[in-house]
Amino acid sequence: MMKKVLLVLLIAALLGAGGAVYFLLTQKDVDADAPLTADEMVELSIDTEEITTNLATPASYAVVQFNILSADKKIKEEMETRHAEVRAAAIATVAGMEKEQLVGTEGITLLQDEMTAQLENLVGKGKVERVLVTQFKVQ
């Protein structure tokens, strides 16, 4: 009889410990997926300077500026170090577009997506969280 009681207590303790471990492991995953705070976004983002470049459409040009959110501080530092390459990617992306492609919110979204792809080619897939167009003029 005593063996049965000890066995039941042992099983209950193991189930409790297993539940606690599961809860702690899944709780970490939830925290990792939590949205960034404004301060964290500032810490992980860089702003390009204003870039003026011709468009693929003759006699047209664009003035743009981007805010780039990196996945972590190391990637932010790499993009700051590779500033010239980031700028060149921005110029190539904008210069390769027609004026009509950049019209409206769809144009801005297209430009942001293209810049994200260019920067991921530069620093690695999944290391650029998002690119925002923070200044935008097309003539």
Q: Where are the domains of the chain?
A: 1-34, 38-138
pLDDT the model gives residue 31:
52
In a 10 Å sphere around its CB, with 0-12 CB exposed, 13-18 middle and 19+ buried, how is residue 32 labelled? exposed
| Residue that is written with structure tokens 């920067």 in the block | 119
Helix axes 73-81, 83-95, angle to 10 degrees: 80
Q: CA-to-CA distance for 138 and 63, rounded, in angstroms?
A: 6
Q: What is the percent of the chain with per-residue pLDDT over 90, rounded to a whole number?
A: 63
The whole-number average pLDDT for the span 105-109 is: 94
For domain 38-138, say whether CATH 3.40.50.20 is its number: no
Residue-averaged pLDDT of the chain: 88
Instruction: Express each pLDDT in 16-25 by its tens digit.
Output: 887 777 877 7
With contact defined as beta carbons under 8 Å apart, do 112 and 64 qualify? no
Q: In sequence order, what are the residues at sequence separation of 6 or more whose Cβ sits closer than 8 angstroms to the Cβ of residue 64?
A: 50, 51, 90, 94, 111, 133, 135, 136, 137
Q: Strands, E, within the chain: which ranges?
A: 45-47, 51-54, 61-70, 128-138
In a 10 Å sphere around its CB, with 0-12 CB exposed, 13-18 middle and 19+ buried, how is residue 119 labelled? buried
